[in-house]
Structure 1
Amino acid sequence: MTGGTITSVEPYTNEITWDADQGIGTVMVWVDVTNAAGCTTGDSFEARVDPVPVCDITVDTAVCAGTAGLTASVASAGETATYTWGITNGTITGGEDTNQITWTAGAVSPVTLTIEITDDIYRCTCSGSVDVTVNPLPLGCTITAPATVNFGSTGNTASIAEGPTPNATYAWVLYVDDVLSPELITAGQNTAQITWSAPASFTEIAIGVTVTTDAGCVCENDPPIGPNDPPGGVIVTGQQVGSIPTLSEWGMIIFSLLLAGTAVVYLRRKNDMTV
């Protein structure tokens, strides 16, 4: 035999098994048969070796739960090949009849991807599979914070409603009227709860957080700063400490004092309020 290897064990019989060598080409097989009387005859034949598809899957070895737009691929087997993909613990979202698919990971690990390729001309086939580790997302990034705080107040808190995620990092942001103000976070940065202060005057404070696991999986809840940003984070408004009389209430006070003739009242503006 040339172009291949006989895998049967000698002495040979009227049937052998053999493997073709790697590569496309021709295998030549011949046989000589000798009977008990010593008479011999022989014959030979040629076998064509057609290309075999390769089913090695290229894919990320680890992904985060729920991640969409992932890809997996195999080498192209030519225009006449057909591709049959399969998946467990995930969803194929595109390219199922091609050598590259897009897919979405589920929440359970591992995701198993399978492929079978058939060359429609030569009828050569291959199959393969691969497991992909699915890492969990953070427990959550919902922010609990007061809806309103006093101007100039200290010791305000914001925390993750779902609680701390083990071995995670936390990146908090705080904006005052769309201006990033990290100096107002006074404690707890890189933890599940921060302490923060409010300035003496503001329209609104926006607080956001990004939680990242040790495997790199992210939960992001950032406030919308630009006009096209998606909603997120929490918004806190401000209020003045105590109660300030209204203008009509000030009028009654002044009128009473003037009738009594005992005081002179001065009015001035402070922090956009009459005092």
Structure 2
Amino acid sequence: MDFNRKNFLWATAAFALFFFSASSASAQISLGTAQSFGVLAGSAVTNTGATSVTGNLGVSPGTAVTGFPPGTVTGGTIHLNDAVASQAQSDVTTAYNAIAGTACTVDLTGQDLGGLTLTPGVYCFSSSAQLTGTLTLNALGNPNSLFIFKIGSTLTTASSSTVQVINPGSNCNVFWQVGSSATLGTGANFVGNILALTSITLTTGANVTGRVLARNGAVTMDTNHVTVCGPTSACPIITVNPATLPNGVVGTPYNQAVSGVGGTGPYTFTVSSGALPGGLTLNATTGVISGTPTAAGAFNFTITAIDANGCPGSRPYSIVITGAPQCPVIMVNPATLPPGIIGSSYSQTVSAVGGTAPYTFAISTGGLPPGLSITAANAGTVVVSGTPTASGLFSFTITATDANGCPGSRLYSIVIPVLSGGCPVITLSPATLPNAVLGTPYSQTILASGGTAPYTFAITSGALPIGLTLSTTGTTTVISGTPIVNGIFSFTITATDANGCPGSRAYSLQLPAGPSGPPGGAVPTLSEWGAILMALLIIAAGSFVLARYRKSAMSVAAGVPSTGFMRAEKAVDWKLLARTTIYVEAAIALPLIVLSANQVDILGALTSGLVLAFILHLLNGGARRR
């Protein structure tokens, strides 16, 4: 389950005592005398051309070796069903069976190994395995990292395929257990140790750094180079003790020592597969496992002891960490998750049992593949779903917490393989978007290039401004509409081509309130203008009435006839009023409508202008005599 694990086997002692079976009390396994063989067959060895083999070459129980010369053997001897070859073949069978019994960490059935980058672990194929292109094995900086491939039937590599170990790792620490035959394509550069049940064929120009070991069938070669890596003599059997480790309890300190016997001390200790329970660590010098467990669950791991001569021995362990006394053991299922495919929908249910429902689920370490997320399904399950957008190997831990706060966790890994031939880089343009104006129609084309048309476009994060939409045609999509809300809007547009290959670009679109208003603030809305204008008009009208009333009252008191609107013989000059209204509406009401950030309450602005025009008309003495 854990792709980010440290593994064992020192770079100079890769072939001795390295495997374990599914049982926690399995015997220590060694390639034994087969370590010295570059090529070993069951029935026959045949060669064409100038093949070179470094190390021993042998056959057993068969006796036929042909093609040497012109083939050459350097640093070893040809063994024809002698005691050495017979013992080596027996040791290969023992190692083959031990490898077959190891537990898988990741199921790669149906996936081409080409284009993948894998970290240390046990990778399984229920049937055949294919390599087209380059397989990269990342040792994560640990020279003892181990890569195991368990293949149900055939292993086939295409021409010029390559297996490479990086960072830094060792070619000797790669093992291929093949259920039937293995065939390496023309010009392939292969690393690791092939243990095949039947035959192994190296076509013209294929090279191997490791070992070619066929149990029952023939080894066929044609102008190849096979170079043994690691030691060519047997290591003693190193046993790691004790046979089992005691279980632990969350929150309770834990202390247990492991030791190595059978080799030359001092020993160094590593966790070569799996992972210790959270909160526990292994002292590489003393072999003491100590700490305070932080999460309940069942934890499987292997501890390897390497002696002073670089000879390793290992033992698998299982520790059950129970919850605090009030907590039961909560198990998260299933044990593994299947791989996904870029651009294809993925859905897998994860459940929890052993506690009190309902459960809450969370990613407590690592991260899901891009495009996937977890969502609650019911009281006891969660669904990992979505559409993967990037290839790679993604490791994460899902923790389930029950209704009483008791936790349980499981470490998962999901492989998202590279599509056949790999995905091209899909680019969206332009790099930035021009800003929009509130209330003004907007249109901007987004172009996708680099993939295979047609494309589908989608907003994969964020949201467009309200009033704008996304529409797609062929290789382009258009953002269009009339924005109605101001602000800054951030979003991501993803284009997916006809082969399911994605490309994304993040955008930000700013929507100011509208044309600039008076300094110090935004332009008021028409409703605000109407309220302000009506208040001013009421004040003006009141002042006008009071002024005319006071003038008329004074005239009466002085014996002078009153004038203005107090005189009954005056009537409204409607033509003058109409002209005044037109002037006022054009000068005041219409600019308010244009300047407003919100096109509402137009009637209020027009009405306010009409009232203002009437008052101005009266103030101007706009009545005519009868």
Q: Considering Cα pairs closer than 8 Å and 6+ residues apart, tell me whether 1 or 2 has the greater RCO.
A: 1
Higher helix share: 2
Which has more radius of gyration?
2
TM-score (norm 1): 0.45
Higher strand share: 1
